[in-house]
Structure 1
Amino acid sequence: MPKSSKAVAVAENARLTVRKTYKLYIGGKFPRSESGRTYLVDGDNVALASRKDARDAVVAARAAQSGWAGATAYNRGQVLYRVAEMVEARRAEFTALGVPAGELDAAVDRWVWYAGWSDKIAQVAGGANPVAGPFFNISAPEPTGVVAVVAPAGLLGLVSVIAPAVVTGNTTVVLAADPQIAITLAEVLATSDVPGGVVNILTGRYAETAPWLAAHADVNALDLTGVEHAELAAELERAAAGTLKRVIRPPAGGIDLSADPGLKPMTALLETKTVWHPKGY
């Protein structure tokens, strides 16, 4: 073998693979934590979110909320269906991260299920009310706004708390339990027509960042589905009370993510506006 070929072979054998760093997902971009902190998960570097990162995520979610809520329900359904397509296309990547095939199937199916509700939930949750008088009385659901979510573990857990929030026009700041799965999902969202800021994902210790989100005056609702410690959940509820947030608290025994979620995950994050209008004669 010529000397040049030997040198190339040695160089190839000595090459180090590029290790992936799992960054945050804020405003449609992948920044590192402003604190510069990271931690190791299965040998991978993962960004450790700070209070400032949480505040930046809320700013991004608020900026995106009106545009997302103003999109047609049909368009939001199309976007969610596109997410399902992209998750399906990246099955091998999620499987390599340890997501079981059955859970992956369930996660894709749940995206599709919620996508189908996008232009139907208003008909089910709202409607014309009977009144005694020459008036129309109409109740219409509207999104709550910015929702902070402590997500349960796993891909299905993430989908089960993100999809019902965004399909109804809310935007989210998600504290992820499984950072590698969550940021891989963020990469899917970033390439699935989801506007930047609709979903923001923070990795790290939710006991550190969740209290700031619970007390944040520009967060409208708090989903504690992924909080496993009753003491922390109670602390977050007390913090949320200061700004009159609605709080979603899972039952004492937890929720069965594999069960039919029903409409409650969507209707819990909707507000009802009732309008009176006189009838013409």
Structure 2
Amino acid sequence: MSDRIEVLKTYKTYVGGNFPRTESGRYYKVYDANENILANACQCSRKDVRDAVVEAREAQPDWNNRSAYNRGQILYRIAEMLETRKAQFIEELETIGYKTKKAKAEVEASIDRLIYYAGWSDKYQQVFGTINPVASSHFNFSMPEPMGVVNIWAPEDRPLLGLVSVMAPVIVGGNTCIILASEKYPLSAISFAEVLNSSDVPDGVVNILTGFRDELLEHMTTHKDVNAFFYTDPDIDQEQRKQIDENATLNLKRVRRKPVEDWLSEKAQSPYYITDFQETKTTWHPVGL
């Protein structure tokens, strides 16, 4: 009898709380550390980006209107669910070349990072909001409010910790997002989508696509119903940076570039990552009413 041919899993995307296949019908091969074919991943297209933006925009008002405490509870729940599947993610990272110790450190740091931002969910408003002195009989308050929908490029070389670190500060502040997973190592991102799907995260708050950055850069940066674009890879080439900045001017999209060399360091987490995706809104209220 001939040797059995292994059936490779085809990982789907995560859009609107569902796991659809790419609209384009295209896939690309994902390899392990020894250059053996590990699985197939969706090669997403412009239509996939547009579908994800529609879901994110629809979900944003409800997510923003939830209490900050509730958003923190949900982030904590994501951490709980990731903790229960820690062994799976350690094994997945090992297949792409991580040593066991490093893989364990990355998964545990991802859990801790979710808890870190869950703790900030109902506190950053007081830290970064103010009561302003004014020369009239009014109360004047300045408070941070979310930008809306954020497109994110997850870090290329940290498929789990990097993704968690860019997602958490964006959504804890009331934004929704579309994340393009690591091009070379996308499987942890879709496995993490399964964690999100069982963690009380409302449909559409986090949407995860896979595919080629060169192909999707234009679609993610020109979409006029997106309010911000976030990327962290320090080695992104100058031509891509120029294209991102130019495309963002079409609708005054905010661009946040925060290169991170070490995702395990304290510098990779900060409440300022939350305020990067907030706008300051000021309210006047007459005294005595």
Q: TM-score, normalised by structure 1?
A: 0.91
Indicate the residue corresponding to 1:30 in structure 2.
19
Amino acid at match of 1:239: N
Instruction: Choose from 80, 85, 106 the match for 2:80.
Output: 85
Q: 168, 187, 205: which is aligned to 1:198?
A: 205
Q: AA paired with 2:250?
A: G
SS at match of 2:142: strand
SS in 1 for 2:28: strand
CA distance, structure 2, for counterparts of residue 83 and residue 217 of structure 1: 30
**Selected match of 2:116 from 113, 127, 141:** 113
The 5 Å alignment of 1:203-214 reads: 203-214=210-221
* Contact 1:175–1:210, Cα closer than 8 Å, also in 2: no
SS of equivalent to 1:233: helix
Alignment of 1:91-110 (within 5 A): 91-98=86-93, 100-110=103-113
User: 124-133 or 13-22, which moves further after superposition?
Assistant: 13-22
How far apart, CA to CA, are the structure 2 residues paired with 1:107 and 1:240? 30
Higher mean C-alpha displacement, 265-274 vs 255-264 = 255-264
Aligned AA (1:158): L
Unaligned runs of 5+ in 2: 32-36
SS in 1 for 2:81: helix
Select the residue among 131, 148, 162 that pairs with 1:157. Answer: 162
CA–CA distance in 1 between the matches of 2:81 and 2:217?
29
Sequence identity of aligned pairs in percent?
51
**Displacement of 1:217 after TM fit?**
0.5
Q: Residue 24 of structure 1: SS of its match in structure 2?
A: coil
Query: Which whole-Å CA distance do the structure 1 matches of 2:135 and 2:265 have between them?
Result: 42
**Following TM superposition, by how much is the alpha carbon of 1:258 offset from its aligned partner in structure 2, in angstroms?**
2.0
Give the TM-score of the pair, scaled to structure 2.
0.88
* Structure 1 counterpart of 2:166, one-letter code: V
Q: State the Cα distance separating 1:250 from its structure 2 match.
A: 2.4
**Which of 39, 43, 48 is the aligned partner of 1:48?**
43
Q: How far 1:195 sits from its partner (Å)?
A: 0.7
**1:68 and 2:63 equivalent?**
yes
Q: How many residues align?
A: 268
Structure 1 unaligned spans of 5+: 1-9
Question: Which is greater in Rg?
Answer: 1
Paired with 1:95 and 1:125, the residues of 2 have a C-alpha distance of 37
